[in-house]
Amino acid sequence: MPRTFDEEMEFLHRQTPYSWKIAKGFVPNMKVEGEFFVNKHLENLMLEELRHSCQGSTGGFLPGVKQIANVAALPGIVKSSIGLPDIHSGYGFAIGNMAAFDMDDPQAIISPGGVGFDINCGVRLLRTNLSETDVNPVKEILCQSLFDHIPVGVGSKGVIPMGAKDLEEALEMGMDWSLREGYAWAEDKEHCEEYGRMLQAEPSKVSARAKKRGLPQLGTLGAGNHYAEIQVVDEIFDKYAANKMGLEYKGQVCVMIHCGSRGLGHQVATDALVAMEKAMNRDNIIVNDRQLACAHIGSQEGQDYLKGMCAAGNYAWVNRSSMTFLTRQAFGKVFKCSPDDLDMQMIYDVSHNIAKIEEHMVDGKQKRLLVHRKGATRAFPPHHPLIPVDYQLTGQPVLIGGTMGTCSYVLTGTEQGMEQTFGTTCHGAGRALSRAKSRRKLDFQEVLDKLTDQNISIRVASPKLVMEEAPESYKDVTEVVNTCQAAGISKKAVRLRPIAVIKG
């Protein structure tokens, strides 16, 4: 018999003003506790979602608390299943849920639901030496130039020449391919997670169907919550960290690009889920939710997915690099100079949907872990060997994209985050309304009028996306970021304000 809300709440315990524990027993077979980070307002959203689920009124979606707990029941998980403040319902893992699995445990698993269908969906930030006053007179022209240069929307096709052999090389080489072909600068690679290349990638583990979907889409923005946005520095919280990133004054113009691996990544995930359903039956792996289909990391299916996922991750970096090239071209065309003259350097590129082999301390011992971050961002602290020399004293830059018309943030990683969340923080605002609800509740013209009132230029390929991606569809990104700072898992450096956005 289903438990009441009050009975469910007996398993949830507030630890600090910004964190809760989910005790074992909340769902069957929990190997570790769950944990989630929220402030008072976000906490109410989480608990209200749980209350609705007890009343059977969530439309079939599992609430975030249940999804965190179900992940805590997966074989080989260590420490706890962790939810970040932007958490919301997703396929298998909640979006904003991370978990780490012990590579030395033969029972430990890898799960496509812990990565997501848009493998290596991520964000990169470019700075410029332009100010808002330089851009304002040509803002509409610049916005149109970006829209003209970057293919956007469902079914969009790339303008970067690519044959089957090029695709194979891109899947293996990641940003090294972009660098060789002249679509990236050497400094770009230095300022990217994994230096823009997952070395475990094997293109042969990506199906012919996935490659067919990916071949025409390289250098395209896609639809959904993906965007290219012209932003300005609105507030500097940490002057030293901001200066290290080349963000020196309020009003300085930047460009943020948010996209992933498009149809190729989606197909890699879909193919793996089919294979893993069979592997689970063979290996007697029991999960609480069918969407958490998984395989032992060391199994053939686990290794095939890991290598295919890494190849899709490389594709995503090539995709973002191609759009960076097109963005630099668009700016150069409007300002009639080379991108070099505009100092269009990449500050950093972060991944939101990925699983990576990393070393972390667990119960006083150093362990090799497979860290799944779904809708979550790596946030390594100062002096970590895997972050660039430029950021050794500040910690890794963490790019938190806002919603259409709201601010974005640059954070830095902290030592406390390394200890509490395996060096992980939030990735954005997190949805508050489903896409269908957004379309029902919001008016297309009203959303556009609000953007106009904020002096934000917009180009969009599909009108329905305007409602789906409106700020009202999301949690407040400032509350999410402030919660991460208050909990000590990351630290605010810079706030960015949008002045123009292009979307699929």
> Is-contact 109 355, C-beta < 8 A?
no
Whether residue 6 is annotated as binding a ligand: the answer is no
59-64 contacts: CB < 8 A, separation 24 or more? 59/434, 61/89, 62/89, 62/94, 62/289, 63/89, 64/36, 64/88, 64/89, 64/94, 64/96, 64/97
Whether residue 41 is annotated as binding a ligand: the answer is no
Whether residue 64 is annotated as binding a ligand: the answer is no
Whether residue 403 is annotated as binding a ligand: the answer is yes
**How far is the C-alpha of 235 from the C-alpha of 255, rounded, in Å?**
16
Angle, CA 436 vertex, CA 89 and CA 479 arms, to 5°:
50
Whether residue 226 is annotated as binding a ligand: the answer is yes
Main-chain phi, psi angles of 471, to 5 degrees: -55, -35
User: In the numeric block, which tokens belong to residue 155?
Assistant: 């079914």
Whether residue 258 is annotated as binding a ligand: the answer is yes
* DSSP letter (8 states) at residue 474: B
Which is nearest to 312 in space by CA: 249, 262, 359? 262
Whether residue 430 is annotated as binding a ligand: the answer is yes
Whether residue 174 is annotated as binding a ligand: the answer is no
**Bridge partners (DSSP) listed for residue 408:** 496
Whether residue 229 is annotated as binding a ligand: the answer is yes
User: In the numeric block, which tokens belong to residue 134?
Assistant: 């330089």
User: In the numeric block, which tokens belong to residue 151?
Assistant: 């293919």
Asked if 41 is an active-site residue, the reply is: no
Whether residue 272 is annotated as binding a ligand: the answer is no
Whether residue 404 is annotated as binding a ligand: the answer is yes
* DSSP letter (8 states) at residue 3: P
Whether residue 259 is annotated as binding a ligand: the answer is no
Catalytic residue among 88, 149, 191, 427: 427
Angle between helices 477-487 and 40-54 (to 10 degrees): 110
Whether residue 187 is annotated as binding a ligand: the answer is no
Binding site for Mn(2+): residue ranges?
A: 118, 121, 226, 258, 352
Binding site for GMP: residue ranges?
A: 225-229, 352-353, 401-404, 408, 427-430, 503
Which residues are catalytic, by number? Answer: 427
Binding site: residue ranges?
A: 118, 121, 225-229, 258, 352-353, 401-404, 408, 427-430, 503
